[in-house]
Chain A
Amino acid sequence: MKTVNQSLEALNDFLKENSITGTLTYRSEISHLVRCGRSQISLNVSEEGEKIFIELQKGKKKISSSSTFSLEKIAEIKEQITALYEKIEFMPEVEHLTPLKPIHEGDTDKHVADKKISNIDSNIMIDLFKAIDHEFTNDDVEISGAFSAGEYSYCVINSLVDKCLSYQGTDFNIEVVLQLLKHDKKELRSASVGENLSQFNQAEIVKELRTLFDIKTTTTREDVEPGEYDVVFSAHAFAELTNYMGYLTFHGEAYQYQMSMLNKETQKVGSKIFGENITIVDDPSDSDILFGRPVGINGISRSIFPLIKNGVLSNMFYSDKDTCDRFSLEVNNDANVSSIKVETGIGPSSFDEMIKSCTKPTIFIPYIHYMNFTNPAKGEFTGTSRFGTFLVNEGKIQSHLYNVRLNDSYMDLFNNIEWLSSQSAHINTSDTYGMRMASSITCPKFVKINKVKITGTSAPGRG
């Protein structure tokens, strides 16, 4: 990382020597992935890449480019900068563009890569699937899943400062799905995420799969009528809801463009938008979260950033200078590197306790598949449950439901929370599009929400 920082600083000096105003951003990744399909290894791949992003500004004109980076290419990159700066003349002026500001200056670099992940031997990843195969050797299951692990870094500097800011970290995320061939192709899933290899626990994954297998092979299939139900969401399902809700609530840019679910006239920072039992925060220094990144890729310094406090909207992320310029605002954070945490409550935290607490008919949803907004302005969404939906009543699992389709709004859901577990879990939210960037949400293990709208099921003929 040190040599990258030095060469980026040298390139920045080149900008200054040539009186060019601009920002240079370096990003790198080393990624390993083993995928299992049909109970064998279907993919065992790795990739490595380094990129440089160049953004130049001249008065009210701007231009950007990116290319593959290597330490040997510095002379070539200087040529690219010169050529790009010549091209900036052809750009029309953007009236609202404000002058570039210096990035944060100070010792906030954080390099926490676990080299055991960076250079992981693919046999460690393969062994997980072998162990699962061994455990279920007599159970007629099809094993599939993925084990992804890697290192990523970013480093940013601009022509108004001398030193760059950088971050280097690692992450792994695992998901395993079993399809029960002798049990109506029921599916079950286990997933985990971490930032160093010591957090990987093979035995725990196998144990969780066994527990779920035993539940699923002893419950009967049933179908429910569409309607409103009390639903307990697992941490995975609730993190997914929070993640999607976050796109429509926490991004100041979307709010300004009126693409969020908040009404710009009536709902502002300070407005109560959710139930009192909901508190959400992004704090890179919190030891309870994964991937705490004290600097943004946009060069901002990050610290505790409350988003929702007892249902009241406390802050929105403004990460993008262009949008801020358009609305005369200041960049205040970088949502791209945030690690959101939903505060816990006083509800049950173990699976057994959670089931026992459901004395009235309640649906348990462990996972939401293919969520999408149906009407973002109202925060309305749809998605289906997956990997084992249960009907719980009188403190017991009554039956194994077909996947149900949810059609509801985040506004209703986050205002109808009955309880949140007292313990939390980390859930992977990185989307694996583009370059590696770890992302996770920390949230309660279970969350019970009242009056959730179910509009259909995957039972034959009930789409």
Chain B
Amino acid sequence: MKTLFNSTLELLKENGAEYADIRFHKSDLTESISTLNTDINEYAFHDRSGLGIRVLYNGAWGFHSTENHSAESVKNCAEKALEKAKSSSTFMKEKIQLAPKEKYIETYNTPINTDPFTIPTKEKIDFLIELDKKLSHERFDYWGVNVTFYKREIFYMDSEGSEITKNLLEIDASFFASAQDVDQQKQSRNFILFQEKEGTVGWDNLLSEKQFLQTERIKNELLAVLDAPECKEEICDVILLPEMMALQTHETIGHALELDRILGYELSYAGGSHVDLEHFNELQFGTSKLNAWADGTLKCSPGSYGFDDDGVKAVSVQLIENGKLRNAITSRQMIVEANKKANKEIFKASGAACRAQSYSNFPIERMNNINVDFGNDGSIEELIKSCKNGIILESPKSWSIGSNRENFHFATEIGWKVIDGKISHVVRNPTYRGDSLKFWNSLERVGDESTWQVQQVFNCGKGQPNQVMRLGHGVPVCLFKDIQIGN
């Protein structure tokens, strides 16, 4: 294929392309297993393969993808991409330019001990059914385990001489239990597999006692929710546990700091951002305890992929430094445009965050691992102890965010009321809301390393056609002051 791709890129250059790249998913496997009430609910195996060609011509993009790998089809695909770029170039006010990058001939492999695709199907199913059985309880109506294994071999080649092979593996795993509460309303508790800071991504990760076997905790929490009083409306401290911290970070830091969104490219669909170019190095995004990163180099996470789809090597970029806004989630194209628009150099190099869901999609700015540094305000216990009147919240139930990411409204599966430094009781149907900037400027305490973990996200949607992206959030437990809850 390499020779064919090489000659295709040459041909595109001869026909006037300023730049072109080919992304070939040599194999793209998905194996999903789900159980429901101790039955197998679904076993499905999916495989796909195809390639996408992106062409820059006269400062405009064109893209076409195909699942046919024949030489004729690849050539045809390239021609269509070029033709589209030519059409696009008839309505461009500023020609697209790409920031410089290094040339790489490299391979990136996700670190794994045991490839789940090498484990016999029966062994996987037996393990998950056993896990499912542990979730049952006489008060529960449904419970189950969902696991999906993803494995991709991607070859990338561009007209600037880079040749990158990526062997990526991810595991999306979760379990849940649900039941009717005292008011005959459905309540559920979900647990999502997270990553250890120094772990691996593999079947072994799933067997870790520390996380996937937390069935007892989830069961007890659900039982407590069923008979708990409703969350009351008040203004109090909020302690966000890792799953909620991940959502909060995702929605109000991550999406708000995508540079294409800031520039207005997502306006018609997802929305804009309350952040403007003049805010960089000026805006106090949060309190001085807030340090956030777009880190593509984290060891184990679906947001770590070695190189982005611009062929730029993964880096770690500090987005927020001691509360001050410093950088954004960026690609080669957008940093050139943003610097030009701002009339100064805000962004020095691409943050390697340009990714496409698959070969049939065009890469755009996507979160990699949007992390918040842990602090030194102690363990969860110490954070609780420091709280006079507050609530601990965990697990997203629903979320809705303003079109410029300026405000949010979140509902969580469970809450624990804290009074005078102690957990008083569990509450049902907790919600909280706020303005994004005001919220991060209410960040008062940041948990220590013991509270920090990498949450995996497999369902981030963005762009048109919508692309679902896999990423991560390394986050500590945090305490926010004076937040509106239960409204």
Contacts and interface: CB of A to CB of B under 8 A. Distances in A.
Interface of A: 31, 33-51, 62-68, 70, 84, 87, 90-92, 94-96, 121-123, 126, 129-130, 133, 142, 144-146, 148, 175-177, 179, 185, 187, 189, 257-259, 263, 265, 322, 369-378, 382-384, 386, 403, 405, 407, 431-433, 455-456, 458, 461-463
B268 A90 contact: no
Contacts of B49: 68
30 contacts: A37-B265, A38-B264, A41-B88, A43-B63, A44-B60, A45-B62, A45-B64, A45-B361, A46-B84, A47-B64, A47-B361, A64-B44, A65-B46, A66-B47, A66-B48, A90-B120, A96-B39, A121-B87, A126-B91, A148-B465, A175-B269, A265-B184, A370-B403, A374-B400, A375-B429, A403-B402, A458-B404, A462-B435, A463-B408, A463-B434
B277 interface: no
Given A259-B186, A369-B403, A126 B362 contact: no
A372 B402 contact: no
B268 A91 contact: no
A241 to B, nearest CB: 14
A374 B411 contact: yes
8 tightest Cβ-Cβ pairs between the two chains A and B: A463-B407, A377-B185, A37-B265, A463-B435, A177-B268, A41-B88, A45-B63, A144-B267
Nearest to A189: B268
A373 B411 CA distance: 9
B14 interface: no
A373 B398 contact: yes
Contact of B68 (A37, A70, A179): A70
Given A48-B65, A386-B403, A431-B466, A91 B84 contact: no
Given A185-B272, A370-B400, A461-B435, 10 more contacts: A41-B88, A43-B63, A48-B66, A62-B43, A68-B50, A94-B39, A146-B268, A376-B186, A433-B461, A461-B438
Contacts of A44: 60-63, 84-85, 87-88
Contacts of B142: 257
B469 to A, nearest CB: 12
B318 to A, nearest CB: 26
A373 B188 CA distance: 14
A176 B268 contact: yes
Given A48-B65, A122-B87, A144-B268, A33 B400 contact: no
Contacts of A31: 465
A374 B431 contact: yes
B247 to A, nearest CB: 12
Interface string B42-75: 1111111110100000001111111110000000
A435 to B, nearest CB: 10
B400 A384 contact: yes
Contacts of B461: 433
A124 to B, nearest CB: 10
A95 B39 contact: yes
Nearest to B42: A64
A433 B468 contact: yes
A206 B251 CA distance: 34
A67 B40 contact: no
A47 B360 contact: yes
Given A259-B186, A370-B403, A91 B125 contact: yes
A186 B141 CA distance: 48
A374 B409 contact: yes
Contacts of B85: 44
A146 B463 CA distance: 10
A33 B42 contact: no
Interface residues of B, number: 83
B398 A92 contact: no
B45 to A, nearest CB: 4
Contacts of B487: 407, 455
A35 B464 contact: yes
Contacts of B263: 37-38
A25 to B, nearest CB: 13
B91 A87 contact: no
A125 B429 CA distance: 46
Interface in B412-452: 429, 431, 433-436, 438
Nearest to B47: A67
A133 B93 CA distance: 11
B80 A46 contact: yes
Contacts of A90: 120-122, 125
A185 B403 CA distance: 12
A146 B464 contact: yes
Nearest to B141: A258
Contacts of B121: 87, 90
A407 B407 CA distance: 14
Given A35-B464, A129-B91, A374 B398 contact: yes
A372 B268 contact: no
Contact of A372 (B42, B399, B468): B399
Interface string B244-288: 000000000000000010011111110110000000000000000
A43 B362 contact: yes
A153 to B, nearest CB: 15
B41 interface: yes
Nearest to B337: A38
Contacts of B403: 369-370, 384, 386, 403, 458
Contacts of B93: 38-40
Contacts of A371: 400
A187 B464 CA distance: 19
Contacts of B397: 374
B267 A177 contact: yes
A187 B267 contact: yes
Contacts of A144: 264-268
A41 B60 contact: yes
B319 to A, nearest CB: 21
Contacts of B372: none
Interface string B28-45: 000000000001111111
A370 B268 contact: no
A68 to B, nearest CB: 5
B94 interface: yes
A49 B45 CA distance: 18
B265 to A, nearest CB: 4
A328 to B, nearest CB: 15
A111 to B, nearest CB: 22
Interface in B66-123: 66-68, 80, 83-85, 87-88, 90-94, 120-122
B186 A91 contact: no
Interface string B388-405: 000000000111111110
A361 B50 CA distance: 56
A405 B409 contact: yes
Contacts of B466: 431-433
A245 B361 CA distance: 31
B406 interface: yes
A70 to B, nearest CB: 7
A185 B67 CA distance: 42
B264 A130 contact: no
A67 B48 contact: yes
Given A48-B67, A67-B48, A90-B121, A432 B464 contact: yes
B80 to A, nearest CB: 7
Given A45-B64, A47-B64, A148-B464, A66 B46 contact: yes
A65 B45 contact: yes
B129 interface: yes
B180 interface: yes
Contacts of B404: 458
Contact of B40 (A48, A94, A384, A407): A94
Contact of A458 (B63, B362, B407): B407
A45 B433 contact: no
A368 B145 CA distance: 34
A40 B464 contact: no
A91 B43 contact: yes
Interface string B459-476: 001001110100000000
Contacts of A148: 464-465
